[in-house]
A and B are shown apart, each in its own frame.
Chain A
Amino acid sequence: MITVRDLLRFSPSFRYGAIILMVVVVLIILSYFSPFEPDDRRAVPRNEPPSFEYLLGTTSTGQDVFWMLTFAIRNTMIIAGVAVIIGRTIGVLLGMISGYVGGTLDRVLSSIVDSVIVIPRLPLVILIASILRGQITIITLAVLIGILDWAYPSKRYRAQIFSLREREFTQTAVFAGMNTFKIVVQEHLPFLIPFLLADMVSGFLFAIGFEVTLSILGLSDLNAQSIGTMIYWGNYYQALLSKQIWVLAAPIAASVLIVVGFYLMSIGLGTYLDPRTRLKRLEVRG
């Protein structure tokens, strides 16, 4: 919590990112008060341009783009959130095992992790998704993205734990008779949390990018609203050729907004984590 407060106070880019994401959260909350169901077709007049009544216009299947977008953002964030949780859980666990146990196990795990990092993920996802086509749901998609995004984080946690293990306070705690579990939870975890935060942000960026890409290729759950499927259906019904630019502009603008928000937050976190700039900040204040 103190980390977040400091970041909001001292890092402008983190602050702007947080504001953008607040807007996103508001949109997600709004989706629960939508007057329409997510797949209500012909609920409103078709092909209306944006107006006061239909904030972002309507589609050629008679859906209100604004309310569609709130559902889309909600689903995209659910996919990204689940993927991030799965990926980080695997990553943190492997990194901790590697870092604390060490020895042969660490060497085996590290070389596996190094191999997995190199393996290209997009073709693999495409292979899996095309086998599962028709059966894929939002949650399967999230799991799929999650199980591909743990190698790099686990490598970083391992390095972090290695350096923590060698610090003096760890030795002190060991000599003072603190048990291992307590050292890990009370002494080391507080150091890992900022890394976890930065990592989660980049995980969100990765997952959102993948969701959009897969949906546009028609490989995700096309019946569920998400930012990617909105673009897919917009293209499918030729929104561009029939001059209904708002149908495509809404999801495109939303995705740009979300990723830029997350990215600004990650820049803030990055500078916060960099020891050199932290020293600089201290100098300025002192």
Chain B
Amino acid sequence: MSLLREFILPRLLQWALVIFVGITITFLIPRLSPVNPISQALGRLTAFQNVAPEAMVELRETLEDLYGLNGSIFDQYVAFWKRVLRGDLGPSFSAFPRSVNEMIGAGLGWTIGLLGTAVISSWLLGLLLGSLAGYFSNRWWSQVLDKLLIFIYPVPYYIVAFVLLMAFTFYLPIFPLVGGAKGTPGLNWEYISSVLHHSFLPAFSIMVGALAFRFIMAKTLATSELASDYVQYAEMGGLPRRKIITNYVMRNTMLPQITDLGLSLGAIFEGALITEVVFAYPGVGSVLYNSIISADYNVIMGITLLSIVGIATASLLVDLSYPLFDPRVRLR
């Protein structure tokens, strides 16, 4: 019972608070802006294309609900929450009458596949390489990796993606320029291999940065762990090095790494915006980009809300799983 009260309950409260603050900010932002987003959006919409009158009416209504222009501020806030809790994000402006949920759902599978693979594999690889490089910090390969990844790490992601795109689709056309796959979806080798072929470069571009970050972090943690007495003791005791690294050093540096993995997995829902724009990959990021271009606030807001809930839930799960990985937390 005390576990529930002292450990689980505060974290659940924090989770609720994060979501509350996030959704409140999302509610307030359009109201604080000096421009009226509704007339601006509708004006922009009618400037580019013809919209059916009934579509206009419904748009204006949902907009007024979402941006809160009916009743007092408090009423609007309550109405906004009701919509959010029902999971009803309204229709999209640019692809009326498709709903925002539909639009996001169409991209979600692509994004989860791409980012899930990239995040998990770069995490594993970076952890392993970083720990090894920390342990064997005098070897040449460790030095080379260190210098290389420290140079790559701070480079803005867009630049990495763009240079890769230029190199491997333009100058050296190994990979296709755009899209998620060719042919009709199905469980045949042709389609699957085309998915892999299309997603290799975007996944690789994400992995480069993530790997560099993970490597630097793992190496720093391993280096500080190596200064501990137990490592020297294990070495003097003649334990095999493989065992020292995997069973002791890596195990002890696991906690912050697992936190990070959880948070990056939670961040998947905001989509890999830049990746998907650069490589024209059909995920949530592309949906977001298209809605930025067509000023589709409903979709932008929907993705913002989804990403807030995603990351808050991920951090809740990470917090709750601490005792599984670290007995020190369990005892406290």
Chain A residues close to B by CB (< 8 Å): 111-112, 114-116, 118-120, 122-124, 126-128, 130-133, 135, 205, 208-209, 212-213, 216-219, 231, 240, 248, 252, 255-256, 259-260, 262-263, 267, 276
Q: List 16 A-B contacts (CB under 8 A).
A: A115-B20, A118-B315, A119-B308, A120-B267, A123-B270, A124-B304, A127-B29, A127-B30, A135-B34, A135-B35, A213-B156, A216-B158, A218-B293, A248-B162, A255-B159, A260-B155
The answer to whether B311 touches A119 (Cβ under 8 A) is: yes
Q: Do B37 and A131 have beta carbons less than 8 Å apart?
A: yes
Distance in angstroms between the alpha carbons of A130 and B292 in the assembled complex:
6
Contact status of A213 and B288, CB under 8 A, knowing A119-B308, A127-B301, A256-B159: no
Which residues of B are in contact with A by a Cβ distance under 8 Å? Answer: 14, 17-18, 20-22, 25-26, 29-30, 33-35, 37, 150-151, 153-159, 162-163, 166, 170, 224, 227, 267, 270, 273-274, 277, 288-289, 292-293, 295, 297, 300-301, 303-304, 307-308, 311-312, 315
A-side contacts of B308, CB under 8 Å: 119-120
Q: Could you say which residues of chain B place their CB within 8 Å of the CB of A217?
A: 273, 277, 289, 292
* Chain B residues, CB < 8 A from A240: 166, 170
The distance from the CB of B115 to the nearest CB of chain A, in whole angstroms, is 14
B271 and chain A: residue at smallest CB distance: A123
- Contact at A127–B17, with CB atoms within 8 Å? no
- Asked if B29 contacts A124 (CB within 8 A), the reply is yes
A115 close to B22 (CB less than 8 A):
yes
B203 nearest CB across to chain A (Å) = 19
Please report the number of residue pairs spanning A and B whose Cβ atoms sit closer than 8 angstroms.
117
Residue from B162, B267, B297, B315 in contact with A131 in the complex, judged by beta carbons closer than 8 Å: B297
Contacts of B301 in A (CB 8 A): 127
The majority secondary structure among interface residues of chain B is helix
Closest to B306 in A: A123
A112 contacts which chain B residues (CB < 8 A)? 17, 21
Contacts of A212 in B (CB 8 A): 156, 158-159
Smallest CB gap from A219: residue in B: B292
Which listed residue (A131, A209, A216, A218) contacts B29, Cβ 8 A?
A131
For residue B13, which residue of chain A has the nearest CB?
Answer: A111
Which residues of the other chain, A, contact B18 by a CB distance below 8 angstroms? Answer: 114-115, 118-119
Residues of B within 8 A of A263 (CB): 150, 153-154
Residues of A with C-beta under 8 A to B162 = 231, 248, 252
Give A264 Cβ to nearest chain B Cβ, in Å. Answer: 8
Q: Which residue of A lies closest to B273 (CB)?
A: A122
Q: With A and B bound together, what is the CA distance between A58 and B144 in angstroms?
A: 37
Judge whether A126 and B154 touch: CB under 8 Å: no
Contact B22 A119, beta carbon cutoff 8 Å:
yes
Q: Give chain A residues whose Cβ lies under 8 Å from the Cβ of B150.
A: 263, 267
Bound Cα distance from A132 to B37, whole angstroms: 9
Shortest Cβ gap from B304 to chain A (Å): 4
Bound form: Cα–Cα A230–B87 in Å? 40
Complex partner residue of A132 from B33, B166, B304, CB under 8 angstroms: B33
Alpha-carbon distance between A128 and B292 when the two chains are bound, in angstroms = 11
In the bound complex, do residue B21 and residue A119 qualify as a contact, i.e. CB atoms below 8 Å apart?
Answer: yes
Contact of A123 among B33, B37, B300 (CB under 8 A): B300
12 more contacts with CB within 8 A, not counting A126-B304, A131-B29, A259-B154, are: A115-B21, A119-B311, A122-B273, A124-B26, A124-B304, A126-B273, A126-B288, A132-B35, A216-B274, A216-B277, A217-B277, A217-B289
Interchain CB contact (< 8 A) of A127 among B21, B26, B154, B312:
B26
Among B26, B37, B301, B304, chain A packs the most CB atoms within 10 A around the CB of B304
The answer for the CA separation of A128 and B311 in the assembled complex, in Å, is: 20
Q: Is the CB of A260 within 8 A of B151?
A: yes
Choose one: A126, A133, A219, A276; the contact of B227 (CB below 8 Å): A276
How far is it, in angstroms, between the C-alpha of A219 and the C-alpha of B295 when the chains are bound? Answer: 11
Cα–Cα, bound, A131→B270 (Å): 19
Which residues does chain B contribute within 8 Å of A267, judged by CB atoms? 150
